[in-house]
Amino acid sequence: MTDITIYHNPACGTSRNTLALIRNSGTEPKVILYLDTPPSRDELKKLIADMGISVRALLRKNTEPYEQLGLAEDRFSDDELLDAMLAHPVLINRPVVVTPLGTKLCRPSEAVLDILPDPQQGAFTKEDGEVVTDEHGHRVSH
């Protein structure tokens, strides 16, 4: 069994599709409901470093506290942005997936295929009807 972790929000379609793609590879991941159990500051910093992205790149913009806190302004340091994400976990974009092959913000959900060690076990169609893999588990190009 491959060791995979997903920072998941079940209310998010992209997150649900990503979780389903992981399961379609034959693996049951560790599911962290990050809104209920947010990562620590050190865990969040490690996730960001492992993804090779900026702190701001993990910031979710289309959510209430983003506007209220004025986070669109460039005046915030990385530490201040981390403080905001830790105080308001809804500001952490999702889903973040950790596998032996890497750590990635999986938007769109099929981005998870790039870091899954095991192939898809069969066809997969996203909730919106978009076909991602065929019956042989091969990625369908769009």
Question: What residues act catalytically?
Answer: 12
d(CA 88, CA 60): 11
Query: Is the Cα dihedral 133, 136, 138, 142 positive or negative?
Result: negative
Instruction: Retrieve residue 54's tokens.
Output: 């900026």
Interacting residues of 87 by C-beta distance below 8 A, sequence separation 6+: none
**103-107 contact pairs (CB < 8 A, 24+):** 103/47, 103/50, 103/51, 104/51, 105/51, 105/53, 105/57, 105/58, 106/14, 106/18, 107/14
